[in-house]
Structure 1
Amino acid sequence: MSDQTFETILYEKDATDKFATITINRPDKLNAMNKTVIREIDKALAAAVADPDVNALVITGAGRAFSSGYDLQGGDFDVDIDFWRSDMGENAEALLNIWKAPIPVIASINGYALAGALELMMCCDLAIAADNAKFGEPEVRHNSGPPALMMPWLLATRDVRWLMYTGDLVDAEEALRMHLINKIVPADQLKLKTENLARKLARMPVPALKFTKASINNQQMVAGLLPSFQYNIEAIAALHVTKQGREWMANLAKMSLKEYLAFRDGPFKDLD
């Protein structure tokens, strides 16, 4: 149980087994992530890290999706490049905080993990997916891109280019082949298998996991992960203030989900 209360997520702690769970809780919107979601995940993450009774963390989504990505509806996109730098920077920082957390973080993927939510998943240490899960970075199809480009640090370059250039979605088997995820389980066993992994990690010697994770992360930092994130923020901010970028983002904000999917995927239906 937990005394933490949130608007868009659930935070639950298993004090006996020493792990906590963050659940993105906007199932009516396929757990689309807005600023409140991002900030509340960051706040719950900080609470878990500060809690001596939490040795591992699970992040998942309520209902039939992990998350469909960032919520594009209702935003004000008539803004300058400094707004996008700040906006994308805040999002990237929150995702990097997951990557930096001294405790292991497990992504438990039910249904869709798309766009910014896929980046969130990739910032977790491990990922277990239901056999009906779908993954992708469809942003390129609506003239956008991810705020935190973690994919090149996990996947082979050709797989990165395929996903990022085409916006195609892949199933769990293909995601496993690409090393996007660690394991596939039947959908009705996802919660149990994820929690058992969390229990296993929580029983490990805490200092050993902490320093092992820090050493693995340091390999990526030495190779230039943080500067590459900053470059990506600048690139996507610049994209959003191009003439086409402004027009597309403004149009997207007015669309229903059905209209958006038709707009995003319609031009490519005859090419699969």
Structure 2
Amino acid sequence: MGVSTSLPEAGIAVVTVAYPPVNALPVDGWYRLADALRTAGADPGVRVVLLEAPGRGFNAGVDIKEIQRDPGPQALIGANRGCAEAFAAVYECQVPVIAAVQGFCLGGGIGLVGNADAIVAADDAVFGLPELDRGALGAATHLARLVPPHLMRPLYYTGRTVSAQELHRHGSVWQVVPRDGLREAAMGLARQIAAKDGYLLRLAKEAINGIDPVDVRRSYRFEQGFTFEANLAGASDQHREAFLTAEES
């Protein structure tokens, strides 16, 4: 359980996230992921990073049980800051990051893939933000990078998911493949990128980030302020407890 990095082929680093059963990350997990991404991107021999999270789903967001066990606000603050660092580490990684997504990609998962340079998805992948049902707000910044604004808003308000095929039609998923072919498809794209000049790839990543119209780090931190406000107002705890009760029943 945790975050690990491997170098299966020249120029390619694979960062693997494993927090069974559903890849809901604790506070420490978000920071470990951020460190792994930054370390891989800083390696002069790496030209592309593949981010994967095998299991039932790619990511189920934060570990709500950890937040509810804490009688104070420290776990929530930690989750907020940890998510912000992990999402930023994807975006600010010195080389392109490919996300290989299967099953569910929810909450914090949207923050990761929304900041990735490319998404390769299994045909069973679904993407969504159930934040309002969990007493939180956030990652609209990243969902807006995947779908048009007037689709992002009702998806956010309702918590509905969209399929990998629909995101492919919108152009935000590079390729949709059968689940058993996901790793190889993602590696195929990684090989194409890794074949390029590493110095130019790093310049390209910095240049593309520089022309983005939205500062994703600042935008997401702005959203997180409303999560904390909802928590202080007492509007969040009941939703987290209801979710955990439903999960256990």
Cα drift, residue 157 of structure 1: 0.5
1:229 match: 220
Paired residues of 1:88 and 1:147 also in contact (CA < 8 A) = no
Matched, 1:20 2:18: no
Aligned length: 248
1:3 match: none
Mapped partners of 1:34, 1:17: distance in 2: 32
2:162 match: 170
Matches for 1:32-111 after TM superposition, within 5 Å = 32-75=24-67, 76=69, 78-80=71-73, 84=76, 87-111=79-103
Structure 1 unaligned residues grouped into runs of 5+: 1-6, 260-272
Give the 3 Å change call, closer, same or farther, for CA 77–180 of structure 1 in structure 2: farther
TM, length-normalised to structure 2: 0.89
**Is the deviation greater in 103-112 or in 211-220?**
211-220
3-state SS of the aligned residue for 1:65?
Answer: coil
Mapped partners of 2:202, 2:115: distance in 1: 16
Give the 3 Å change call, closer, same or farther, for CA 223–133 of structure 1 in structure 2: closer
1:246 to 230, 237, 240: 237
Matches for 1:79-228 after TM superposition, within 5 Å = 79-80=72-73, 84=76, 87-146=79-138, 149-220=141-212, 223-228=214-219
Cα drift, residue 251 of structure 1: 5.0
Mapped partners of 1:148, 1:169: distance in 2: 13
3-state SS of the aligned residue for 2:58?
Answer: strand
Structure 2 unaligned residues grouped into runs of 5+: none
Task: State the Cα RMSD in Å.
Answer: 2.3
Paired residues of 1:32 and 1:67 also in contact (CA < 8 A) = yes
Mapped partners of 2:170, 2:154: distance in 1: 11
Mapped partners of 1:77, 1:246: distance in 2: 12
1:69-99 Cα distance to aligned partner (Å, 9 max, x none): 211114245435x875564133212211110
Mapped partners of 2:140, 2:147: distance in 1: 15
Cα drift, residue 128 of structure 1: 0.3
1:263 match: none
3-state SS of the aligned residue for 1:62?
Answer: coil
1:92-132 Cα distance to aligned partner (Å, 9 max, x none): 12211110111010000111111111211111110000111
3-state SS of the aligned residue for 1:243?
Answer: coil
Cα drift, residue 250 of structure 1: 4.7
1:203-245 Cα distance to aligned partner (Å, 9 max, x none): 111122212221221122x544443223112122112221222
TM, length-normalised to structure 1: 0.82
Matched, 1:257 2:247: yes
3-state SS of the aligned residue for 2:124?
Answer: coil
